[in-house]
Chain A
Amino acid sequence: MLSRRSAFLPAKAEGGRQKAAKSPKPLLSAFRLLLSAFCLLLSALSVAAEAPGGEAGPRPALWVDNDTASIPEPARKFDTLHYDFFYATFGQAPRSFVGRLGAKQPAWNVNAWEEVPDSTWYTNRHHLHPMTAEQVARGANQHSGPDLSGRLAVLEGKTAGTSLGFGRTRDSAGNVYFIKFDSAEYPELTTASEVIAARFFHALGFHVPQEWIIYVRPEQIEIDPKATIWDKNGRQRQMTRADVEEVLKGSARAPDGRYRAVASLLLPGRVKGGFRFHGTSRDDPNDLIPHQNRRELRGLRLLSAWLNHYDIRPGNTMDTYVEQDGRKFLRHYLLDFGSALGSASFFPKTARMGFSYVWDTREMGKPFLTLGIYQPRWREHPAGVKFPSVGRFESEMFTPHLWKPVLPLVAFDYMDNADAFWAAKLVMSFTEEQVRAAVREGQLSDRQAEEYLVRTLLERQRKVGWYGFSVSSPLDGFRLGKTVGGEQVLLFDDLALKHGFAAPAGTYYVHTFSRLGEAGYLGRPRSFRGNSIPLDELMKWAGPAADAKAVFTLAIAARRAEPEFEERWVKVYLGREAGGFRLMGWERD
């Protein structure tokens, strides 16, 4: 038991943000102060209008954010990598700067239990409703895939020259798919990464297309008489058999003569273009939460980091105008995972990918200022390609929070510690069996390559988990229970212990109890071991006269022998009811 109260308590009376364990460096603080002042100015100018910030106290107890009201059909948006590059790299620089400096609001779409409610953007799946390995492996797929008993009719070609595949292609059953092949130099690379990443992103809660690995014979492929193609000369013309042969010539062929491909089922609804990772869509009245303040998009940074989904950008997302229960609205998808894991579409990732943006001023600044003496480790000693079918995918140099996609994305820069915890929790929810099941969907012919991929994913998973659980309190899953003697207790999970990041022997917890909105503590702070807190004593401190509307804050933090884990607090909101407390939610500092 600690004797000194001051060494014990969170900084704010109601369990507010805890001071960092290390004493701040004066220079750094002054620098941060200046930067913060600058940020505040910028925020006042540009971000201040983002009004609905979180107010103290429990958040709404909602599991569905109803953003499916009927809306007029929005216009089709078009996206271009070239503009995305300039806009994300230079146009969005001030906003990203603000995000990186920490002048950002907590995510808006977070419910009382620190979770993201279901919406047109996100559906809680595996981490809240555990899926079996088979369900993870099935992903979004709702049927057995393309009907390959007959012909595949190509309705339109993809842009020739760079893409090995076909645009809309109809199977014998009349369903329409997009077809993508592996390059001849790297068989299985693109298709495996596409399917495996799609399985994971589905289980993680995102909307993704239904995808299957298929094997087709050249003679199965026929061309619709109306099929057109943009050829490599930039001319749109009627597609010919030569175009099919051109695609197949550069594609990997299995020993039995068939071509391996990934088939993506056409998304339901009318395609409306990708979404951006900041702001709201003007023509979607349901879209009221600035995208940089959506937890699922902020947390997507760590999720993408785990899966090395480097090419995540507006061009690889899609909104579709769908009809459901008589209502018409937009649904938001992630697309095109061919550049996930070790793949960069048709070839392995280069050493830079995942460590640096295409044009990364900060990354360039260090060698610039040190006259090239400093070079990042990934550039000095780049990881090799161990298996052509896996590409460049490693876990040793991987650092979750330093991982970077192809372009800076504002929502990623706005990820805070609570978002990181949420994402890490999602990533850590996969067991090895489930990871194996998803990887098996990639149908890698080389067992060693498959094993390497599984191992690397598990190692990266540990790094993501460690990061997320160390920057925010890893206490979660709070619930009320009763002891055998009938005493009400608050139970919780310590995810750092559950996943083996910290040792139980060196861990104990502290808590304070207060009334929301009032200074000072009720009763005395306590330290304890184990994952339950008896509430009878707290009830006495709350007082018999407490009204039913009163909200109490139980702030809890873990203290561990492992120095990497700083003290982080989580506030649990409790309300009074007859004979005890009722759980109203919790909030992470």
Chain B
Amino acid sequence: MGPPVPRLAAIVIAVLLAASALLAQSTPLSSQPTERIIDIEAAERAKQTEHSFRAWQAPLMPFLAFGHAMEKGFIAVDRNHLLDKAQYYVTEHGRGFKPLFGGLGIGTGFAFGVEYYRNDFLRRGGRIGIPLRASTLLYQDYGIDLSLPVDSGQRVFFDANAHYRVRSQDDFFGLGNNSRAGDRTSYMLQSRQFTFGPRFQLSKRVRLTTNFGYRSTSVFDGKDARFPVITARFARNQIPGLRNGARMWLGEASLVHDTRDVPGRPRSGGYHRLAAAWQQSGDSGDYGFWRYQVEAERYVPLASRNRVLALHFLGITNQARGGSSVPFFEQVILGGSSTLRGFREFRFYDTSGVMMSAEYRYNLNAYADMVLFVDQGQVARQPGDFSWSGLRTGYGGGLRFLNQAGTPFKILLGRSNEGTRIYFSLGGTF
């Protein structure tokens, strides 16, 4: 055995050698191939610049931050399958709750709610739903909907509905075709309705629907603080139904013939509807009338399915019986994104009305159609009072955003002699 100091030195040297060998193994960079097709230093400088903040980017910071947040958000959505989860909650299963969006009509604000539903209720194909909806403008709709198949082939159904509705600030400009836009007022409707009746699916394209029931409607001053309430501008005895509302028994039958290729985004075919309704006061009110309605939509491809001429006709007349009258809120109402574009919603009221619309739609891509349209319509006391000179005209254009089954969203710009209006609307073929 040698002296301890040289032995220690030998150990130290051995450790150092081992360490250096290990170090050499763990830092292979020195032995790595380095020949590149590019000037490495210049490329590294360029990369450094690419990934560093540059002064000119300062104004873009909000966009960059938004983009970054969007990326993180989308990744979180995908990794956690949040779209699947959302799809699960908005899709009906056997029973449960589902969220509701919209459904209260145009100009009602953003509406949302929840519905309890139960499919195959009482029997296969039956359904019961209890929807509860409210909007940011305090429009409300609470109800219960029941649909039961009567036969095993599910061609005959029995439907029953009971609803309580509040329309907090609908507009009223006066009766007639010549009402003035400056007379805009606001009223509130509160209605309770119960209807029931059979529905017959006569063939794949034809169905007959009947309804019987009772509706109680009360009228109040509207909640839109920007405009006078209805009673401030119109006398209660001038406008039918304004004083006490109306409580009506009702019955209705409608026949629908639908040959549209894809009902939600038709390119060919048509939709035709004939309806007749009877309403009679259920209390001391002097209201009683027949309503007749004709509606037709035709979709004509113009040498290609990518160009479609869409035509829409709607004619309604309410015929008062035996000196009765028609409450103003049951009259024909024209104006707005679905009836007479270029005018405000609820712009024209009268007992009869006619509306024609021609739309030229052409396909931009799988997800959007461009639209150019002309609408004409008028209201009058009787169909015999209609005249060419009385037609009110609106025109415009816009985009219809499409999915496989329908038109979930539209942006339209309409213009008339009363100004220009932008319409954002969900669903609907017109």
- A, B bound: yes
Closest CB of chain B to A74's CB: distance in Å? 14
B34: chain A residues at CB < 8 Å are 66, 69
Q: Choose the segment among B201-209, B362-370, B418-426 that binds chain A (4+ C-beta atoms closer than 8 Å).
A: B362-370
Q: How far apart sit A371 and B363, CA to CA, in the bound complex (Å)?
A: 9
Contact of B84 among A67, A79, A161, A287 (CB under 8 A): A161
Type the 1/0 row for A65-102, where 1 means its CB is closer than 8 Å to any CB of B. 11111100000001111110011000100000000000
Whether A234 lies near B56 (C-beta < 8 A) is no
| Residue A110 CB within 8 A of the other chain | yes
Bound: A164/B28 CA distance, A: 45
Of the four ranges (under 10, 10 to 19, 20 to 34, 35 or more), the interface on chain A belongs to 35 or more
Assess whether A372 is in contact with B37, with CB atoms less than 8 Å apart: no
**Does A372 contact B35, Cβ atoms closer than 8 Å?**
no
Q: How many whole Å from A411's CB to the nearest CB in chain B?
A: 15
Tell whether A356 pairs with B365 under 8 Å between CB atoms, given A80-B75, A326-B28. yes
Question: How far in angstroms is the closest Cβ of chain B from A172?
Answer: 32
Question: CB < 8 Å: which of B32, B71, B88, B370 contacts A327?
Answer: B32
Contact (A83, B47) CB under 8 Å given A233-B85, A367-B363: no
Does A111 belong to the interface (CB within 8 Å)?
yes
Task: Give the shortest distance, in Å, between B10 (CB) and chain A (any CB).
Answer: 30
In the assembled complex, the CB of A44 is this many whole angstroms from the nearest CB of chain B, namely 9
Residue contact B77 to A82, C-beta cutoff 8 Å: yes
Chain A residues 481-517 with CB under 8 Å of chain B are none
Q: A541-578 CB contact bits vs B (8 Å, 1 = yes)?
A: 00000000000000000000000000000000000000
A52 near B39 (CB under 8 angstroms)? yes
Number of A-B contacts (CB under 8 A): 160
The answer, yes or no, to whether B151 is at the interface (CB within 8 Å) is: no
Selected from B25, B37, B75, B87, the residue in CB contact (under 8 A) with A111 is B37
Interface membership of A279, Cβ < 8 A: yes
Chain A residues closer than 8 Å to B273, beta-carbon distance? none
CB distance from A11 to the nearest CB of B (A): 28
CB of A576, distance to nearest CB on chain B (Å):
25
The reply to whether the CB of A60 lies closer than 8 angstroms to some CB of chain B is yes
Stretch at the interface among A357-365, A414-422, A463-471: A357-365
Complex interface: chain A residues within 8 A of B85 (CB): 233-235
**How far apart are B24's CB and chain A's nearest CB, in angstroms?**
11
Asked whether B88 lies within 8 Å of A372 as measured between CB atoms, the reply is no
B83–A234 touching, CB < 8 Å: yes
Q: Which residues of A, 198-238, contact B by the 8 Å Cβ criterion? A: 230-236
Partner of A230, one of B28, B29, B36, B81: B81
CB distance from A399 to the nearest CB of B (A): 18
Q: Smallest CB–CB gap between A112 and chain B, Å?
A: 10
**Is the CB–CB distance between B33 and A49 below 8 Å?**
no
Taking a contact as CB atoms under 8 Å apart, the answer to whether A372 and B360 are in contact is: yes
Residues B367 and A359 in contact, CB atoms below 8 Å apart: yes
CB-defined contacts of A279 to chain B, threshold 8 Å: 50
Output the least CB separation between A115 and chain B (Å): 10
The reply to whether A363 and B365 contact each other, CB–CB distance below 8 Å, is yes
Q: A359-B367, A375-B304, A379-B306 are in contact. Are A65 and B32 (CB under 8 A)?
A: no
- Residue-wise, chain A 365-405 has the 8 Å CB interface mask toward B (1 for contact) of 00110011101000110000000000000000000000000
Bound Cα distance A79, B71 (Å) = 9
Whether B283 is near chain A, meaning CB under 8 Å from some CB there, is no
Alpha-carbon separation in the docked complex, A97 to B313 (Å) = 46
Complex CA distance for A60 and B45, rounded to whole angstroms: 20
A363 — which chain B residues lie within 8 A by C-beta? Answer: 365
Contact of A69 with B29 in the complex, beta carbons under 8 Å: yes
Q: Cβ of B368: which chain A residues have Cβ within 8 Å of it? A: 364
B46 near A51: Cβ-Cβ < 8 Å: yes
- Cα separation A367 to B88 with both chains bound (whole Å): 38
Instruction: Give the Cβ gap from B64 to chain A, nearest Cβ, in Å.
Output: 10
Query: Within 8 Å of chain A (Cβ to Cβ): is B136?
Result: no
- Judging by beta carbons under 8 Å apart, are B84 and A375 in contact? no
CA distance A364 to B364 in the complex (A): 5
A45, A65, A372: the one contacting B370 at CB < 8 Å is A372
Contact check, B35 vs A288: say whether CB atoms are below 8 A apart: no
How close is B340's CB to chain A, nearest CB, in angstroms? Answer: 23
Verify A86–B70 contact, CB threshold 8 A.
yes
- Which one of B39, B43, B70, B363 contacts A83 once the chains associate, using CB atoms below 8 Å? B70
- Tell me the complex Cα distance, A230–B47, Å: 39
- Contact assessment for B306 and A233 in the assembled complex, using a CB-CB cutoff below 8 Å: no
In Å, the complex CA distance between A379 and B411 comes to 24
B45 touches A375 (CB 8 A): no
Whether A372 lies near B75 (C-beta < 8 A) is no
Contact of B32 among A70, A83, A372 (CB under 8 A): A70
B304–A49 touching, CB < 8 Å: no
> A289 contacts the other chain (Cβ, under 8 Å)?
yes
Docked CA distance A80–B54 (Å)? 27
Partner of A372, one of B39, B67, B70, B307: B307
Residues in A with CB closer than 8 Å to B87 are 232-234
Verify if B385 is at the interface (C-beta below 8 Å from A). Answer: no
- Quick one: given A91-B67, A110-B37, A290-B46, are A83 and B74 in contact (CB under 8 Å)? yes
Are A234's CB and B81's CB within 8 A? Answer: yes
Report if A367-B46 is in contact (Cβ < 8 Å); known contacts: A91-B67, A234-B85, A359-B367: no
Bound CA–CA A140/B79 (angstroms): 30
In the complex, are the beta carbons of B88 and A64 less than 8 A apart? no
Is B38 located at the chain interface by the 8 A CB criterion?
A: yes
Nearest chain B residue, comparing its CB with the CB of A352: B366
Q: Which residue of B lies closest to A329 (CB)?
A: B32
Q: Could you list 4 further interchain pairs (A-B, Cβ under 8 angstroms) beyond the known A234-B80, A234-B82, A371-B372?
A: A66-B36, A69-B32, A289-B43, A367-B363
> Sorted from nearest, which 6 A-B pairs have the closest CB atoms?
A372-B362, A234-B84, A234-B85, A49-B49, A83-B74, A234-B81
Residues of A within 8 A of B (CB): 45-46, 49-52, 59-60, 62, 64-70, 78-83, 86-87, 91, 108-111, 117, 159, 161, 230-236, 279-280, 282, 287-290, 326-327, 350, 352, 356, 358-360, 363-364, 367-368, 371-373, 375, 379-380
A-B contact pairs, 18 of them (CB 8 A): A51-B42, A52-B39, A52-B42, A52-B46, A64-B35, A66-B36, A69-B29, A70-B28, A70-B29, A70-B32, A83-B74, A86-B70, A109-B37, A161-B84, A232-B87, A287-B47, A364-B364, A371-B372
